[in-house]
Amino acid sequence: MKTVDVQEPTFFDAQDLAACQSVFDELLKEIGLAKESEEAGRIAAIVIDLYQQGVRDRSHLKVMVENARSLFGSYNPMTAATK
């Protein structure tokens, strides 16, 4: 298991980027958002921030991003259609 020293700045390598990208792509597909949307930009920022904080498990990362989005009242087209 990879440990993260929160005192030392970390840099993304290709493996880190690939992990974040796959979670990001999966979330956008589930939500039905275009990559160019503002909300996608917010999701990307949340994914990267959580990853940098040490959240490496894909399923845990997805759940935390989904929870963060609901905390900040993000627009969800899936629930907007039913209102």
- For residue range 45-74, what is the model confidence (pLDDT) as tens digits? 999 999 999 999 999 999 999 898 876 554
Q: How far is 61 from 64, CA to CA, in rounded Å?
A: 5
Q: What pLDDT is stored for residue 83 in this prediction?
A: 40
Where does the pLDDT of residue 82 fall: very low under 50, low under 70, confident under 90, or very high at 90 and above? very low
**How far does CA 32 lie from the centroid of its chain?**
14
Phi/psi of residue 15, each to 5°? -70, -40
What are the DSSP calls for 21-34, one per residue? Answer: HHHHHHHHHHHT--
Domain boundaries, given as residue ranges, for the chain: 34-77
How many of the other CB atoms lie within 10 Å of CB of 70? 11
